[in-house]
Amino acid sequence: MNIQEMILALQKHWSEQNCIIMQAYDVEKGAGTMSPMTLLRSLGPEPWNVAYVEPSRRPDDGRYGENPNRLYQHHQFQVIMKPSPDNIQELYLESLKKLGIDPLKHDIRFVEDNWENPTLGAAGLGWEVWLDGMEITQFTYFQQIGGLEASPVAVELTYGIERLASYIQDKDNVFDLEWTDEVTVHDIFFQPELEHSTYTFEESNTDMLFQLFTMYEQEAKSAMEKGLVFPAYDYVLKCSHTFNLLDAKGVISVTERTGYISRMRNLARSIAKAYVDGREKLGFPMLKEEK
Amino acid sequence: MAKDVIYEIGLEELPARFIDDAEKQLAEKTEVWLKELRISYDSIISFSTPRRLAVLIKEVSEEQTTIEEEAKGPAEKIAKDADGNWTKAAIGFTKGQGKTVDDIFTKEIKGTTYIFVKKRIEGKSSIDLLPDFKVIIESIQFGKNMRWATQTLRYARPIRWLTALYGEEVIPFEVAGVKTGNVTYGHRFLGKKIILKNPGEYQSSLFENYVVADSKEREGLILEGIKQLEEKEGYQIPIDQELLNEVRNLVEFPTVFAGSFEERFLQLPSEVLITSMKEHQRYFPVRAIDGELLPYFVGVRNGNSYALDTVIKGNEKVLHARLSDAQFFYEEDQKQPINHYIKKLERVVFQEKLGTISEKVKRVVNITEQLTKELNMDTEDAAHAVRSAEVCKFDLMTNMVNEFTELQGIIGEKYALRYGEDQTVAKAIREHYLPKQANGNLPQSVAGSIVSIADKLDTIVGCISVGLTPTGSQDPYGLRRQATGILRILKDRQWNISIEKLLDITESLYVTLDIEQGNREQVTKELQEFFKLRAAYLLKEMTIEQDVIQAVLSKEIGLIGYSQAKAGCLSEKRNDDKFKFVQEALVRILNLANKTNQTKIDPSYFETASEKALYEKFQTVSMKYKEAVQSKDAPQALAILSELAESIHEFFEKNMVMAENEELRNNRLSLVNNIAQLIMDYADLTDIEWKQTF
């Protein structure tokens, strides 16, 4: 099964479970969780079921396309269901079958793993799902987001697409993976990997990035002052990516690091709160539709 | 007729580390609960797997035990009127108990006679009481709880089914929206939904559906599988009990398998291999009979042996990827000289207010240099210690430690040897992190011990200087553990250097530092108090009494080993009748001391023979005492002080210290003060609660 077929199979499966099939969010981010489709929509009482592929950029993991396992940009298949269904584990295991993974032929386990993202003031409990000893999915019941208690609780499934594909296609090197039968990951992503790594570690304009961080932060604050939650959140994402670029280049000391993270966390918190308040003012419209 | 009862909580996979304790709680709480309910039974058997916690209660009686109680009523004088007839109070009481006045009998309690009736509490049907088990389920404590969906219950993981049977009958109740039934589930993939006909079939029905419900039985199966592999392949597979406990709680039906990795990975440091296998993948490493690591590993599958080859291949692939990464880091790391990493430390902050790790290392080197001088170490030992201090943190900057943080120091030792550092230095890099826990192993090498002390001293003095003193349960930098570590090393080494001297050396470094610090005097006091508490803790661990600890540490901690020896002596003398005579004399001196600050003794003012005798005794005792202190002989020092006792008693008997004549008085007070000072050097004996019989 090539990656494209995997994605289509997952989309079909989760679409059948009444998930909205969303497209990737177009601001750089380190994880699918950071998409507003997850982070903001998981808050508040309104039901929300969604699935999407998210390209995740982690500048620090860039390896000039030389490492068989690490990438500047990898892909996650993200599922959010709120409230968490009682049969969510079964639904998830069904999805593995759709990817051709016969559980009787493998060893599938749920191994405790508690997740935390300090930048977003988010935390959850759950597992990493092991397939014959390999972590293929992060399975999390959100407990807190943006510093707010998650209630009802949303469940998040994050499949590591390249990881899963390397197993399904039995390839040792991520660049050998087939995206389609004719096109490999190498064909599509090798050049960007190399160039992004070069840019991140050698060529990026540090002064400009520091300035951008401050400007994005300022813009997020201004947008918030005008009650514009979604634009403010976009600027927090931009802050986060800019910070990741600076951090990967090693120009942020450990001391400063804590400072930057708490600046972003404070913004995320105020945005989360404003989002829920705003939805409440609207009378939680999606809750009404449900009834 | 008595019937068996089964309660099973079906859960999404519980964290392995919670399972044993949860099963134990369930069994214990069930026992207490049944006792309180007065429901008799034959035995309680508990079970646990990642997906279930259960208790099987054998032979549960149909009813609660019926009991007879004596219900106490009013006093007889209230219950009867002057004519000896029952009063309203008595009638009301009997009615309230469902009895009549004919049932009354009397009993005397503390001189007053009360009326009583015998009351029979009929046992209720068990089936009506068994639903209360809900409370037991909700009361199990886990290390970490969560919420799910719209439920308000906080539990380790979501509850998915509840099985509760009394004989064939379902015990009806509901927890977190889940209703009880007679259904349980087998292994997630190999098993089926099971309709449980009666509790007695619980274990066997699950086994038919690939669930070994008894965790000890799973452990036995794993051990058996491992033993077979050992015999068949000639392996030696050391059993790490902690890993075994975790692995048995990650599976419902264990199947042991062996996989292999490429032999070239064996050149990696064995700690890297073992960490990858044990910590990351939960495999058992495999050794040859001679103890050498072999390129194999042993894992445990949650399932049977069907398609086991696929599972083995998958696991091998994962380990291969991990070890390839490690190999890559290992090779990358070796491309740079040691100085490359030392230089990199300049960019890493140790603590916001305390600067970079590089700056910390410079201080550690400085402290180490001074320690080697204080301890009169020979040139070679000193040079090794200083070199160890210079390089002690370099491995923090390697890829390997970045990936395997738990291997800090261990990787440092390995790499240092490759860089051609002296063996002593390499070992000290690893050992300077010791002891890792309050009672952990101490460094074995001199260099490791010195750098360990220097590194910890710097952290403690640094943190407390900038106001990061631990409070209550908050000790994020582990300062308490580190202070205890310093004391333990000093004691173990019997090094002739006091805590006060060490603090002095370290603090004098901080005085010149360009960082924002608290008031120096205040900080010094805080540091001394901090260490005193740690020293007290250490002495308390040795079962020294609190008052003795306080007496010994009242002046200073000094040499911890010597202070401990003094405490040991006093702890013994505290209950020794023969010491009463001495103790009274010395304490009397201490009680009288400090009435004035006179210390100047002029022998020409002495009037009586007894005060002259005390003065002379004091002079000889002083000399001998100093010698005993020099040789750190705590019992001898105390014995010498004891020699004063007779002269002291005589002195107080025959002299008025507070004489009218001022010069005479001051001279006597000076004598007392001088002796007191000598005693206080040993300990403040007034702090001790003497336990001799009087």
A187 to chain B, closest Cα gap in Å:
23
A86 shares contact with chain B (CB less than 8 Å) = yes
Tens of pLDDT, residues B141-184: 999 999 999 999 999 999 999 999 999 999 999 999 999 999 99
What residues make up the domain containing A69?
Answer: 3-200
Q: Does pLDDT of B693 surpass 80? A: no
pLDDT on residue B685? 92
On whether both A148 and A239 belong to a single domain, the answer is no
CB–CB contact A253 B347 (8 Å): yes
CB–CB contact B149 A84 (8 Å): yes
B193 shares contact with chain A (CB less than 8 Å) = no
Chain B residues with beta carbon closer than 8 angstroms to that of A254: 348-349
One digit per residue, the tens of pLDDT, for chain A of length 291 reads 999 999 999 999 999 999 999 999 999 999 999 999 999 999 999 999 999 999 999 999 998 998 888 899 999 999 999 999 999 999 999 999 999 999 999 999 999 999 988 888 899 999 999 999 999 999 999 999 998 999 999 999 999 999 999 999 999 899 999 999 999 999 999 999 999 999 999 999 999 999 999 999 999 999 999 999 999 999 999 999 999 999 888 787 666 777 888 899 999 999 999 999 999 999 999 986 544
Query: Which CATH code is given to the segment(s) B340-497?
Result: 1.10.3210.10
A107 shares contact with chain B (CB less than 8 Å) = yes
A140 shares contact with chain B (CB less than 8 Å) = no
Domain finish residue from A200, A224, A249: A200
On whether both A235 and A114 belong to a single domain, the answer is no
Residues contacting residue B538 through CB under 8 Å, at least 6 positions apart: B484, B487, B488, B491, B560, B564
pLDDT on residue A289? 56
CB–CB contact A112 B17 (8 Å): yes
Q: Does pLDDT of B612 surpass 50? A: yes
B252 to chain A, closest Cα gap in Å:
11
Cα(B627)–Cα(B630) distance, integer angstroms: 5
On whether both A189 and A216 belong to a single domain, the answer is no
pLDDT on residue B125? 92
Query: Is the backbone of residue B405 left (phi > 0), alpha (psi -120 to 50) or beta?
Result: alpha
Q: In terms of CA atoms, which chain B residue is nearest residue A149?
A: B147
pLDDT on residue B366? 96
On whether both A223 and A278 belong to a single domain, the answer is yes
Q: Does pLDDT of B668 surpass 50? A: yes
Residues of chain A numbered 46-75 and touching chain B (CB < 8 Å): 67-69
pLDDT on residue B170? 97
On whether both A187 and A234 belong to a single domain, the answer is no
pTM, entire model: 0.81
Domain finish residue from A150, A184, A200: A200
Q: What is the mean pLDDT of residues B28-48?
A: 96
The pairing of beta strand B52-60 with beta strand B3-11: antiparallel
Tens of pLDDT, residues B467-481: 889 888 778 888 999
Chain B residues with beta carbon closer than 8 angstroms to that of A153: 146-150
pLDDT on residue A198? 96
Q: What is the mean pLDDT of residues B13-40?
A: 96
Equal CATH topology for B3-63+126-208 and B568-687: no
On whether both A186 and A52 belong to a single domain, the answer is yes
Chain B residues with beta carbon closer than 8 angstroms to that of A132: 310-311, 313-315, 317-318
A208 to chain B, closest Cα gap in Å:
21
CB–CB contact A107 B314 (8 Å): yes
CB–CB contact A167 B301 (8 Å): no
B394 to chain A, closest Cα gap in Å:
17
CB–CB contact A106 B314 (8 Å): yes
Where are the domains positioned within chain B? 3-63+126-208, 67-121, 215-334, 340-497, 568-687
- Structurally, chain A folds into a number of domains equal to 2
pLDDT on residue A95? 98
Helices B520-541, B479-493: inter-axial angle, 10-degree rounding:
70
Query: Which CATH code is given to the segment(s) B3-63+126-208?
Result: 3.30.70
pLDDT on residue B325? 85
Q: Does pLDDT of B694 surpass 60? A: no
Q: Name the percent of chain B lying above pLDDT 90.
A: 77
Q: Does pLDDT of B56 surpass 80? A: yes
Cα(B370)–Cα(B458) distance, integer angstroms: 13
The interface predicted TM-score of the complex, written ipTM, equals 0.94
Chain B residues with beta carbon closer than 8 angstroms to that of A253: 347-349
For the stretch B642-645, contacts whose Cβ atoms lie closer than 8 Å and that sit 24 or more positions apart, written own/partner, are B642/B579, B642/B582, B643/B617, B644/B585, B644/B586, B644/B614, B644/B617, B644/B618, B644/B675, B645/B581, B645/B582, B645/B585, B645/B586
User: Best mutation site among B13, B159, B257, B329 for testing chain A: the one with the most A CBs within 10 Å?
Assistant: B13
On whether both A104 and A153 belong to a single domain, the answer is yes
B12 shares contact with chain A (CB less than 8 Å) = yes
Cα(B278)–Cα(B476) distance, integer angstroms: 27
**CA pseudo-torsion sign A45, A46, A51, A56:** negative
Q: Does pLDDT of B596 surpass 80? A: no
pLDDT on residue B304? 96
B189 to chain A, closest Cα gap in Å:
6
On whether both A140 and A210 belong to a single domain, the answer is no
Q: Does pLDDT of B64 surpass 80? A: yes
CB–CB contact A132 B190 (8 Å): no
B358 to chain A, closest Cα gap in Å:
13
B219 to chain A, closest Cα gap in Å:
18
CATH code of the domain in which A279 resides = 1.20.58.180
Query: Is the backbone of residue B387 left (phi > 0), alpha (psi -120 to 50) or beta?
Result: alpha
pLDDT on residue B235? 93
On whether both A138 and A266 belong to a single domain, the answer is no
B56 shares contact with chain A (CB less than 8 Å) = no
Helices B520-541, B446-465: inter-axial angle, 10-degree rounding:
130
Q: What's chain B's average pLDDT?
A: 93
Chain A residues with beta carbon closer than 8 angstroms to that of B352: 255, 258
On whether both A188 and A258 belong to a single domain, the answer is no
What's the fold here for domain B568-687? Isoleucyl-tRNA Synthetase; Domain 1 (1.10.730)
Domain finish residue from A200, A216, A239: A200
Tens of pLDDT, residues B339-395: 999 999 988 878 878 888 999 999 999 999 999 999 999 999 999 999 999 999 999
On whether both A35 and A170 belong to a single domain, the answer is yes
pLDDT on residue A291? 45
On whether both A63 and A168 belong to a single domain, the answer is yes
Whether B548 and B536 have beta carbons less than 8 Å apart is answered as no
pLDDT on residue B62? 92
CB pairs below 8 Å between A and B: how many? 109
Q: In terms of CA atoms, which chain B residue is nearest residue A102?
A: B189
